[in-house]
Amino acid sequence: MTDTKPSVFGSALNKGKKPEDKRSVDMKKVDAVAEGQGFVSRESHRRRNYVGPSQQLNVKLPQNIYDRFTKFCDENELTFRKGIEQLLDETGR
């Protein structure tokens, strides 16, 4: 007599059982349990700061100018992008 182990994929365990209909699962309950366990949704979310097509700008600055710019942005609660935009607007360009 041979000992057969159940498949690691569960096919032996599901013999004679119908697969659960996914539409019958209450996703609100699933989300509530997941939230209670600290799981974070993987669903894509549009970034709040989305501005459309953009270009990358990398700039090396002397430390004192970098510090002045970051201080300006921090004091005005601006992102770097918004800080550059505000400075350009103030110069009329």
The pLDDT score that the predictor gives to residue 12 is 54
The pLDDT score that the predictor gives to residue 4 is 63
Better-scored residue on pLDDT, 27 or 76: 76
Q: Which are the contacts of 79, defined by CB distance < 8 A and separation ≥ 6? A: 49, 73
pLDDT at 18 over 70: no
8 A C-beta contact, residue 32 and residue 38: no
The pLDDT score that the predictor gives to residue 36 is 87
Q: Which are the contacts of 49, defined by CB distance < 8 A and separation ≥ 6? A: 79, 81
What's this model's pTM, rounded to 2 decimal places? 0.46
Mean pLDDT of 22-47: 78
